Amino acid sequence: MRALLSTIGSRGDVQPVVALAVRLTALGQEVRVCAPPDFRDWVEGLGIPFTPVGPELSSTGKTSPSAVPPTPEQRGQLVAASVAAQFEAVTEAAAGCDVIVAGGYLVIAARTVAEQMGIRYVMASYCPIALPSPHHAPPVYPMLGEKPADGSVDNSTLWARDAQRWNNTWGSLLNSHRAAAGLAPVTDVRSYLFTDKPWLAADPTLGPWPEPAAQDVVQTGAWILPDERPLSPELEAFLDAGEPPVYFGFGSIRAPQDLSRNMIQAARALGRRAIVLRGWAELALLDDQPDCLSIGEVNQQALFQRVAAVVHHGGAGTTTAAARAGAPQVVIPQHVDQPYWARRVHELGIGTAHAPGAPTADSLTEALSHALRPDVAAKAELLAGEVRPDGADLAAQLLIAADS
């Protein structure tokens, strides 16, 4: 089997796709990844062929949170450019393939390319709330100009509005490419892209599908990439020099203003040392005191087993990694699926969800003091054994079985 795994987004969107690619390769299948160019060196370093799509994304994390958002016209231009780039890259990368797997929510071109080529197509979501259900509201996409609902509208109405937004945002662009290929127009973009049986690449303990008896969603478990990299000597020395520190990281998204200062002040207020991930936002330390360490990209699987708590933005990957390691969590959600993961961490009792709004030193101190309680640590350690490690393997087996 020859598979193209395609995604658009930051590392949280790309890493699950890479995990599946690595597993398929180990099972003797031919795989190519199509993703933003930021990840070329990483993917090719794993021996996986790579096709870049669109511009580099790392600069977006460095943009000031106070920057003026794009106008509707500018947003429309960005959307159009993304769709055009996807059709070009996915068409090139899919040549000779038997299946295209779209990872995440915004791979607009993949199903049409699969249709043109007469090959299979699978869409996989990383979070339950991205998939329509009366049990939850749709996620909010601020990059498309959306705002959270105020709670006065029922979920069915919100999902109907969400479908219309998908049509308004992507419909004419998608159908123009389809017309050029001699294909009929799509009237319901979201349903077309998601298919009538999407996959859910989320852990069933952390992010269960709310309708377990339904047959219209295939929950494989999270696609986790095994990481055997050692921690750096500097990080090992820091960890060995005292009690377990608190990890702070915002990954590849924009950080709220003064986040570094407030995080470090919160740790110090509780007598804790701190490790700060620079990330795409380039978070920096306040000073050169020995109780704090700044690090770059790291093996989370190894590090999270040695920290007192993980404070993060609520990405699916980081939430799952911290849960697998048994580390208590403080989640500071910003958008899309992050509020869902924050809520799940709170509901499971393995940490706390920071209140809406930009965090202050005081609010972070309060949230972190709750996460550091012994009962929370005990629940986090107990739940760690329930998180499935084999989601990528199950997904790979399903793809291979469908091809046989």
If asked whether residues 47 and 22 sit together in one domain, one would say yes
Query: Are 141 and 106 spatial neighbours (Cβ–Cβ below 8 Å)?
Result: no
pLDDT band at 75 (very low <50, low <70, confident <90, very high): confident
For the chain, give the longest Cα–Cα distance: 66
Q: How many CB atoms lie within 10 A of CB 386?
A: 13
Strands of the 292-295 sheet, one edge to the other: 292-295, 274-277, 246-249, 309-312, 329-331, 351-353
**Spatial separation of the C-alpha atoms in residues 401 and 157, rounded to whole Å:** 38
Radius of gyration of the chain from its Cα atoms, rounded to whole angstroms: 21
- Residue 92 sits at the vertex; the CA angle it makes with 89 and 93, to the nearest 5 degrees, is 85
- pLDDT for 323 equals 98
**Spatial separation of the C-alpha atoms in residues 133 and 87, rounded to whole Å:** 29
3-state secondary structure of 266: helix
What's the token pair of residue 220?
């494989």
Query: Are 24 and 17 spatial neighbours (Cβ–Cβ below 8 Å)?
Result: no
If asked whether residues 219 and 70 sit together in one domain, one would say yes
- pLDDT for 353 equals 96
Q: What is the mean pLDDT of the chain?
A: 92
Q: How many CB atoms lie within 10 A of CB 120?
A: 16
If asked whether residues 185 and 267 sit together in one domain, one would say no
Residue 227, class by beta-carbon neighbours within 10 Å (0-12 exposed, 13-18 middle, 19+ buried)? Answer: middle
- pLDDT for 46 equals 96
If asked whether residues 34 and 147 sit together in one domain, one would say yes
If asked whether residues 214 and 256 sit together in one domain, one would say no
> In sequence order, what are the residues at sequence separation of 6 or more whose Cβ sits closer than 8 angstroms to the Cβ of residue 71?
none
What total of structural domains would you count in the chain?
2
Distances (CA, A) of 27 to 1, 30, 150, 221, 395: 10, 9, 47, 18, 12
- Residue 263 sits at the vertex; the CA angle it makes with 317 and 298, to the nearest 5 degrees, is 40
> pTM for the full model?
0.93
Q: Which of 265, 372, 370, 375 is nearest to 308 (CA)?
A: 372
Whether the pLDDT of residue 118 is over 70: the answer is yes
Mean pLDDT of 266-274: 96
pLDDT tens figures, 347-373: 999 999 998 778 999 999 999 999 999
If asked whether residues 179 and 244 sit together in one domain, one would say no
If asked whether residues 137 and 218 sit together in one domain, one would say yes
pLDDT tens figures, 206-257: 999 998 777 799 999 999 999 999 999 999 999 999 999 999 998 766 666 6
Q: What percent of the chain has pLDDT over 90?
A: 78
Whether the pLDDT of residue 61 is over 50: the answer is no
- pLDDT for 78 equals 86
- Specify the CATH number for the domain of residue 253: 3.40.50.2000
Distances (CA, A) of 245 to 22, 23, 119, 158, 353: 32, 33, 50, 42, 20
Regarding beta strands 50-52 and 199-200, do their DSSP bridges make them parallel or antiparallel, or are they unpaired? Answer: unpaired
If asked whether residues 323 and 205 sit together in one domain, one would say no
Whether the pLDDT of residue 65 is over 60: the answer is no
Specify the higher pLDDT residue, 142 or 93.
93
What's the token pair of residue 203?
């852990």
- pLDDT for 67 equals 55
Whether the pLDDT of residue 157 is over 50: the answer is yes
Query: End-to-end alpha-carbon separation of the chain, Å?
Result: 9
Residue 62 structural domain: 2-224+389-403
If asked whether residues 306 and 395 sit together in one domain, one would say no
- pLDDT for 356 equals 78
pLDDT band at 271 (very low <50, low <70, confident <90, very high): very high
Whether the pLDDT of residue 389 is over 80: the answer is yes
- Residue 26 sits at the vertex; the CA angle it makes with 25 and 30, to the nearest 5 degrees, is 20
Least confident piece of the model among 87-96, 256-265, 323-332, 382-391? 256-265
If asked whether residues 128 and 104 sit together in one domain, one would say yes
> What single DSSP character describes residue 283?
-
pLDDT band at 140 (very low <50, low <70, confident <90, very high): confident
- In the block, tokens 């160019």 appear at 37
Mean pLDDT of 384-403: 96
- pLDDT for 215 equals 75
If asked whether residues 153 and 241 sit together in one domain, one would say no
Least confident piece of the model among 91-105, 107-121, 256-270? 256-270
Whether the pLDDT of residue 398 is over 50: the answer is yes
φ/ψ (deg, to 5) at 375:
-70, -35
**Spatial separation of the C-alpha atoms in residues 366 and 101, rounded to whole Å:** 42
Whether the pLDDT of residue 392 is over 90: the answer is yes
Query: Are 109 and 88 spatial neighbours (Cβ–Cβ below 8 Å)?
Result: no
pLDDT tens figures, 313-327: 999 999 999 999 999
> What single DSSP character describes residue 131?
S
If asked whether residues 179 and 304 sit together in one domain, one would say no
- pLDDT for 62 equals 47
Mean pLDDT of 49-71: 70
- pLDDT for 150 equals 67
Q: What percent of the chain has pLDDT over 70?
A: 93
Residue type at position 85 = A
pLDDT band at 63 (very low <50, low <70, confident <90, very high): very low
What's the token pair of residue 105?
């929510």
- pLDDT for 148 equals 67
Query: Are 250 and 277 spatial neighbours (Cβ–Cβ below 8 Å)?
Result: yes
φ/ψ (deg, to 5) at 210:
-70, -10
What is the tally of helices (H) and strands (E) in the chain?
A: 15, 13
